[in-house]
C-alpha cells in the first residue's frame, strides 16, 4: 500500500470514530424520546465543539497518536487504548447522573463521571 493511501486512512480514523459517536448519540436521543435535533446548525456546532473537547482528554492520547503511527509519521507504536466510543458509551455510562441522579447517557472522559443528556449540554 502506498504512503499516500496509508496517510489518508490514518487521517480518517478520528473522523470515523466521531461519526460512530454521533450515531450513538442519535440512537440515545431516539430511544429516550428527547426533543433535540442534532441536524440543526446551532446544535450541530455545539455537538462538534463538545466532541472536540472530549477528544482532547488525556485518556485519548493513545488514540490520537495511533493515527500518526498508522500514517507512518512516527515509528513508535502507541500503548493499547480504549476508543472514545467504547469509553463514553461503554460500561459505567448508564449509571446515575453525577448532577441530578437521573439515568445518564454518557461518561465524561475528563472528569470520569456519568452525565445525563440535560446535564452534559
Q: Give residue-wise pLDDT tens across range 52-104.
A: 888 888 888 888 888 888 888 888 888 898 888 888 888 777 788 878 877 77
Task: Return d(Cα 97, Cα 1) in angstroms, integer.
Answer: 46
Task: Return d(Cα 66, Cα 45) in angstroms, integer.
Answer: 26
pLDDT value of residue 83: 84
Does residue 1 carry a pLDDT above 60? no
Task: Return d(Cα 63, Cα 84) in angstroms, integer.
Answer: 8
DSSP 21-36: HHHHHHHHHHHTT---
Residue at grid coordinates 486512512:
9
pLDDT value of residue 25: 73
Does residue 119 carry a pLDDT above 80? no
Residues 23-59: tens digit of each pLDDT = 777 777 777 776 767 667 777 777 777 778 888 888 8
pLDDT value of residue 54: 82
Task: Return d(Cα 110, Cα 56) in angstroms, integer.
Answer: 9
Q: How confident is the model at residue 2 (pLDDT cuts 50, 70, 90)?
A: low
pTM over 0.85: no
Amino acid at each position: 500500500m502506498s504512503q499516500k493511501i496509508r496517510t489518508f486512512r490514518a487521517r480518517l480514523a478520528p473522523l470515523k470514530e466521531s461519526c460512530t459517536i454521533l450515531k450513538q448519540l442519535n440512537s440515545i436521543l431516539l430511544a429516550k424520546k428527547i426533543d433535540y435535533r442534532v441536524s440543526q446548525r446551532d446544535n450541530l456546532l455545539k455537538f462538534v465543539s463538545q466532541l472536540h473537547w472530549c477528544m482532547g482528554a488525556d485518556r485519548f492520547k493513545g488514540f490520537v497518536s495511533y493515527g500518526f503511527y498508522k500514517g507512518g509519521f512516527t515509528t513508535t507504536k502507541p500503548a493499547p487504548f480504549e476508543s472514545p466510543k467504547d469509553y463514553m458509551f461503554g460500561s459505567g455510562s448508564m449509571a446515575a447522573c453525577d448532577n441530578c441522579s437521573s439515568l445518564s447517557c454518557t461518561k465524561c472522559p475528563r472528569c470520569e463521571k456519568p452525565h445525563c443528556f440535560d446535564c452534559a449540554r
